[in-house]
Chain A
Amino acid sequence: SAVISQKPSRDICQRGTSLTIQCQVDSQVTMMFWYRQQPGQSLTLIATANQGSEATYESGFVIDKFPISRPNLTFSTLTVSNMSPEDSSIYLCSVVPGEWTEAFFGQGTRLTVV
């Protein structure tokens, strides 16, 4: 299993500013996943973060908008840059500790851009 501490749990930000979300895992994991979930929608994968290499971004998401750091095997950050109201969403980090295990999630960050 894995326990993930995600911060902040919520924030209200001005458009044009940036917010960095942090996730700390209680065990070492190879990959960490960052998701966005807009109201009433399912999970959309933003990127996969590997330690020691650049994150892999899904179609529609770019590094300039969502830079990710992965300095070690237990920690990652996602920055939402130059925010607009369309970025208002819940952001979730997740890990899958093994091939045959389920995904574990952080508590989520509810972001509102005004």
Chain B
Amino acid sequence: GQNIDQPTEMTATEGAIVQINCTYQTSGFNGLFWYQQHAGEAPTFLSYNVLDGLEEKGRFSSFLSRSKGYSYLLLKELQMKDSASYLCAVKDSNYQLIWGAGTKLIIKP
């Protein structure tokens, strides 16, 4: 079967750095996506990794290791507005998106 694992919940302090991990087992791989979702809103796209390595976008970075079936989302200089759920999703061999359960990130002052 296809499976994506990420922690259910994480807590971090404003101004700090947090890393949200995602491991996956899917039928094929055509890219990994990270989305941010605030409560009551639709998911918004953060990053896309299809090759191994680190992609940096401002305060957010995403890393991929295809051989390990592993990715992480790194958030720096945390702000209160970063409190949200972060969803990891993988495109399988049929280009279908397989979604993780999401990680709820709580930022404390």
Q: Contact residues of A with B, CB < 8 Å?
A: 33, 40-43, 45, 90, 92, 96, 99-100, 102-108, 110
Task: Give the CA-CA distance A96 to B30 in the complex, in Å.
Answer: 13
B42 touches A42 (CB 8 A): no
Residues of A within 8 Å of B30, CB to CB, are 99-100
**What is the CB-to-nearest-CB distance from A101 to chain B, in angstroms, rounded to a whole number?**
8
Q: Contact residues of B with A, CB < 8 Å?
A: 30-31, 33, 35, 40-45, 48, 50, 85, 87, 89, 91, 95, 97, 99-102, 104
Shortest Cβ-Cβ A-B pairs, 3 listed: A105-B42, A42-B101, A102-B45
Task: Give the CA-CA distance A92 to B44 in the complex, in Å.
Answer: 12
A42 touches B100 (CB 8 A): yes
The residue on A at minimum CB distance from B46 is A102
The residue on B at minimum CB distance from A93 is B42
Task: Give the CA-CA distance A27 to B68 in the complex, in Å.
Answer: 37
Q: Which of B42, B48, B85, B104 contacts A102 (CB 8 A)?
A: B48
**What is the CB-to-nearest-CB distance from A36 to chain B, in angstroms, rounded to a whole number?**
12
Residues of B within 8 Å of A99, CB to CB, are 30, 91, 95
B99 touches A108 (CB 8 A): no
**If A42-B100, A43-B87, A103-B33 touch, does A92 touch B95 (CB 8 Å cutoff)?**
no
Residues of A within 8 Å of B101, CB to CB, are 41-42
